[in-house]
Structure 1
C-alpha cells in the first residue's frame, strides 16, 4: 500500500482525504473552543491591520521618515498588515469550515501565511544590509536612491509571492502520500525542511551581522566626538534590533515545529504545538508598532497626530488637522527648535495654555 501511495497521484481527492491520511482531525461540529479561538484570532488580526496601517501612514506623512531605512520598515509594516489579513482569512476557513475548502482554497490559505513570513524575513535582511552599509561608512541614513528602494521592495514581494506559490505548484505531496506533513497535510515534508532551515539560517546571519555592527558602534563611540550622531545611530539600532529579536522569538518555535514535522513526521507530534506556535507568530505582527511607539519619540508624536486628526474629524468635520512636515532629520538636541512642526497638536490661539 505504501509503495502504491508513493507512485500514484491524487489530484482528484479533496482536502479531507489528505487530513485523514496523516491522521489530523477536522472538527465536525462547532465547539466553545472553536468560537473562542476564532473570536480572539479575528480581534487580534483586526488590531494588527489597524496598527500597521498607522505605521505606514506615519512614515508616509512625516518627512523625517523619508529615508531608505524607514521605507523598508514601512514595507515591513505592510508585510505585517498582510499577515493580519492572512490570519483573518485563516480564521474564516478553519475548524469545521476546513471540510468545505477545495484544494485551491486550502493552498491559498497557506500561501498567504508563507508570503507574509517571507516578506518579513526579506525585509529584515534588507534592513540588516542597509544598516551594515551605513554604519560602516559613518552615516546615519543610506544614500540609496528612491528608485533603488522601490526596486528592492518590488523584488522582496516578487520573491515572497514565488515562495508562497511553490507548494501549490510543484512541491507538494499529492503524488507521494508518504511525504505528507502532519501540520500541513498537502505540503511536502521535504519542503518544510527546506523552508525551516532557510529561515533559521537567515535568522542566524542577521543576528551575526547586528552583533558585528554593535561591536563596531561601541568602538566608534569611544573614538569620536560626534555625540549626537552616535546616539542617533545607537537609538535606531536598538529599535531595529528589538524588531529583529521579537521576530526571531515569535517565529522560531513555529519553524522548529515545522522542521521536526519534516524530519520525523507523525512521531514529532507537531499538531500538539501547532496552534500555540501560530498564536505566538500572529502576535509578532502586533509587536512592531508597539516597539516603534515605545522606542521612537518621533514615531510616537506622529501616531498622536494621526489619532488627533481622526478624533477631530469625528468631532468636527470642518476642522482640519495640521500636517506633519519636517524636511530633514535633526539631532536630538535640535528637536526643540522644530518641535512645533513635529508635534501633531499645534496649539490654537485660544488654547495655547491648555496645550
Structure 2
C-alpha cells in the first residue's frame, strides 16, 4: 500500500517490514483472526486526492477573483481550502511517485532526493494541522459575528485576521518540523491528540452556544408574534440537525485517526488495538473525505462565491 510511508513512520507505521518501529507496529502473529481489515485500493488515494485538488482550487480561485470575498471570514475559508489543497497535492505527488516505483518506472526517489521524503512529511503534517486550526478560526469568527455583531468589524479586522493566518501557518510548520524530527517520542503523539481534542472542544462549545443564542432569539420572536410552538420546534430541530452534521462530520472524519494515535500511546502491544492499527489507511481516507466535504459546508453555501465560481467556469469553458 503506497500511502504516505513517511507520514505513517511518524504517526504509527503499519508497514510489515522488520524495520518498522516496534512501538508503533504489532507483529503480524499478534493479530487475531476476528479483526476487520478494510483494504483500500491504491488508486483510491490518488482519485480522492485529485477530487480534493480540483474542488479546493475552485474555492481559492473564486475567493481571489472576487473582491467582495476579501473579508476576514472568506480569508479563513480560503486558507482552509489552501491547506486541503496542499495536503492533496502532496498525497497525489507521493502516491503517483510510489505507484511509478512499484511499476519499476523510477528509481528509488528517496535515494535521488534524500530530503524530499522529510519535506513532504512536513508539508502533509503542517497542512493537516493548519486545516484543523482554520476550522477553529472559522468557528471563532462566526461566534464573534453573532455575539458581538455591532463590534465585529472593529474586532475582526483584515489586518488582525492576516496576522492570525500568518501565526497559524508559522506555528503549523514549526510544530510539524518538530513532530517529524522527534516522531519516535510518545510525547509527540500525545501533543497531537491533545491538539485534536482542544479543537473539537472549541468548536463544540462555540457552535452549541451559537445554537442556544439562536434558539433564544427565535423564542423571543415567537413570543412577540404569538406564534405556535411547532414553528419554534421546527427551528430548533433544523438548528440541532445542522450542528450535528457539522460536528458529526468533523468527529467522524478526524476521530478514527486520532483514536489510532491514542491507542498507540495506551496499548501499543495489545492484540485488540492491533485490529484498529490495521485500518490506518481507512482513517486517512476519512480525513481526505473531510477535505472534500469542507468546501460544501463552508464555501459553496455562499451565493456570492457560487456566482463567482460559475463565472470562472464559464470563462474557462471553450
Normalized against structure 2, the TM-score is what? 0.71
**Please, which of 129, 132, 149 is the counterpart of residue 138 of structure 1?**
149
Q: Given that residues 133 and 168 in structure 2 are in contact (C-alpha distance below 8 angstroms), is that contact kept between their aligned partners in structure 1?
A: yes
Could you tell me how far 1:77 is from its partner in structure 2?
Answer: 0.7
Number of the residue aligned with 1:263? 266
1:311-343 residue CA offsets vs partner (Å, 9 max, x unmatched): 1xxx3xxxxxxxxxxxxxxxxxxxxxxxxxxxx
Contact 1:193 1:263 in 2 (8 A): no
Q: Distance in 1 between matches of 2:247 and 2:165?
A: 18
Pick aligned residue for 1:279 from 275, 282, 285: 285
Partner Cα separation in structure 1 for residue 86 and residue 177 of structure 2: 16
Alpha carbons of structure 1 residues 293 and 132: separation in structure 2 relative to 1, 3 Å: closer
User: Cα–Cα, structure 1 residues 243 and 155, in superposed 2: closer, same or farther, change >3 Å?
Assistant: farther
Match of 1:19 in 2: 20
Does the CA-based 8 Å contact 1:79-1:116 persist in structure 2?
Answer: yes
The DSSP-based 3-state class of the residue aligned with 2:268 is helix
Q: Deviations over 1:203-248 (max 9, x none)?
A: 12211111011101221234369xxxxxxxxx99998985554333
Change (3 A) 1:139 1:64: farther
Q: Is the 8 A contact 1:115 1:161 kept in 2?
A: yes
Q: Report the counterpart of residue 163 of structure 2 in structure 1.
A: 151
Query: Is the contact made by 1:254 and 1:278 (CA closer than 8 Å) also made in structure 2?
Result: yes
Matched, 1:296 2:302: yes
TM-aligned CA distance change 1:44 to 1:141, over 3 Å? farther
Alignment of 1:18-37 (within 5 A): 18-19=19-20, 21=22, 22=25, 37=41
CA–CA distance in 1 between the matches of 2:255 and 2:78?
A: 23
**Aligned residue for 2:37?**
none
Q: Which moved more, 1:287-296 or 1:79-88?
A: 287-296
CA distance in structure 2 between the partners assigned to 1:309 and 1:191 by the alignment: 47
Q: Which residue of 1 aligns with 2:124?
A: 113
Aligned to 1:254: 257
Q: Which residue of 2 aligns with 1:64?
A: 68
- Residue 162 of structure 1 is matched in structure 2 by 174
* 1:217 equivalent in alignment to 2:206: no
8 Å Cα contact 1:87-1:282 kept in structure 2: no
Q: Report whether the alignment pairs 1:80 with 2:84.
A: yes
**Native 8 Å contact 1:59 1:66 kept in 2:** yes
Structure exhibiting the larger radius of gyration computed from Cα positions = 1
1:124 aligns with 2:152: no
Secondary structure of 1:295 counterpart = coil
In structure 2, the CA distance between the partners of 1:136 and 1:39, relative to structure 1 (3 Å rule), is same
> Does residue 310 in structure 1 map to residue 311 in structure 2?
no
Q: Kindly state the Cα deviation for residue 151 of structure 1 after the two structures are TM-superposed.
A: 1.0
Q: How far does the alpha carbon of each residue in 1:108-151 deviate from its partner, in whole angstroms, 9 at most, with x for none? A: 34322221121011111212222222211235964422221211
**Alpha-carbon separation, structure 2, partners of 1:272 and 1:278:** 12
Q: State the match for 1:177 in structure 2.
A: none
Q: Structure 2 unaligned segments of length 5 or more: list them.
A: 1-14, 29-39, 223-237
Q: 1:210 to 1:292 in 2, by over 3 A?
A: closer
RCO higher in 1 or 2 (8 Å CA, sep ≥ 6)? 2
Matches of 2:212 and 2:307, distance apart in 1:
31
Q: Retained in 1: the 8 A contact 2:62–2:309?
A: yes
Two-structure CA RMSD over aligned residues (Å): 3.4
Q: Note closer, same or farther for the CA distance 1:94–1:192 as it changes in structure 2 (3 Å cut).
A: farther
User: 2:250, 2:290 within 8 Å by CA — same for their partners in 1?
Assistant: yes
**Counterparts of 1:156 and 1:292, CA distance in 2:** 19
